Amino acid sequence: MNNKSLKPLAVAFFMSGIWDTIAGLLYIFAIGNGRMISNPATDPFYTVFLGSFFLCFAWIQFMASQNIGRYSFLVGCLIFGRAFYIVQLYGFMVFVPEFPTTFWFTGIIDGAFLAAYFLFARRGGLPLRDLFLPKE
- Summarize pLDDT for 62-79 with one digit per residue, the tens: 999 999 988 989 999 999
Q: For residue 87, with 0-12 CB atoms within 10 Å meaning exposed, 13-18 middle and 19 or more buried, which class applies?
A: exposed
Determine, yes or no, domain membership for 35. yes
Give the model confidence (pLDDT) of 89-128 as tens digits.
Answer: 999 999 999 888 888 999 999 999 999 999 999 999 988 8
User: Considering just the CA atoms, what is the radius of gyration of the chain in Å?
Assistant: 16
Range of the domain at 86: 3-124
DSSP reduced 3-state for 31: strand
| The pLDDT of residue 32 | 82
Residue 55 is assigned to a structural domain of this protein: yes
| pLDDT at position 37 | 80
Total number of domains constituting the chain: 1
133: left (phi over 0), alpha (psi -120 to 50) or beta: beta
Q: Which amino acid is at 33?
A: N
Question: What is the spatial distance between Cα 17 and Cα 74, in angstroms, rounded to a whole number?
Answer: 12
**What value does the mean pLDDT take over residues 19-41?**
87
130 lies in some domain: no
Task: Give phi and psi for 37, each to the nearest 5.
Answer: -115, 110
Whether 101 is covered by a domain: the verdict is: yes
Output the average pLDDT for the chain.
Answer: 90
In a domain, 134, yes or no: no
C-beta separation of 131 from 77 below 8 A: no
**133 inside domain:** no
* 79 belongs to a structural domain: yes
In a domain, 74, yes or no: yes
Q: Identify residue 84 by its one-letter amino acid code.
A: F
